[in-house]
Chain A
């Protein structure tokens, strides 16, 4: 069964802490994504990566960074967590066919982060 695994389902952190959210996929997908989900705002793209060591900013990259050292792993880093980063974070991966994102994203279960 194909899978995207996010390391933590629930986290509580304090303002100013450094936070790591880990995501691993076992489908050998080229693309990996980090989205943030907030009520009434839908999903907003933070960063995405289409290859190892490659990354591109999404709509809301401020306050976040990412790392993709291996194809299967895509990490989201909050250098100094703030209360407005309290949210649900969703990792996803997808296959590329013919230089086109197939669009069939596989999502992890999500990581609900609370920053106090």
Chain B
């Protein structure tokens, strides 16, 4: 079974600075990994996914994520943070290969300060 972990509950960053939200995974075989974002009082929205191929994955709203097999990480990044990026971010992966649900990390709250 696959699991994901988000080591930080909260990340604070100044507007215009680069941001990183961390995720590590544990899986046997090739992982499928996802990032989702939740704005206040809303459901989650898909940001990006890694299935196979390039280790740098580009997604919505200028976000990208870097898959690193040796460090078993899939960190979410953005070169220049906006105040509107403030939200709750979730890393996720399927429970196992096949048609199975996603398991989510506990979430990281990102605050971008003007």
Q: Is the CB of B106 within 8 A of A103?
A: no
B45: chain A residues at CB < 8 Å are 107
Q: Is the CB of B44 within 8 A of A42?
A: no
B43: chain A residues at CB < 8 Å are 4, 90, 92, 107-110
Q: How far is the CB of B44 from chain A (nearest CB, A)?
A: 5
A109: chain B residues at CB < 8 Å are 41-43
Q: How far is the CA of A109 from the CA of B45 in the complex (A)?
A: 10
Q: Which applies to chain A's interface (DSSP): helix, strand, loop or mixed?
A: strand
**Which range contains the number of B residues in contact with the other chain?**
20 to 34
A103: chain B residues at CB < 8 Å are 32, 34, 49, 92, 94, 102
**Which range contains the number of A residues in contact with the other chain?**
20 to 34
> Is B62 interfacial (CB-CB < 8 Å)?
no
Q: Which residue of A lies closest to B43 (CB)?
A: A107
Q: Is the CB of B103 within 8 A of A45?
A: yes
Q: Is the CB of A90 within 8 A of B99?
A: no
Q: Which residue of B lies closest to A38 (CB)?
A: B106
Supplied contacts A31-B99, A96-B99, A109-B42, 11 more A-B pairs, CB within 8 Å:
A30-B99, A31-B101, A41-B106, A42-B106, A43-B104, A43-B107, A45-B103, A99-B98, A101-B98, A101-B101, A101-B102
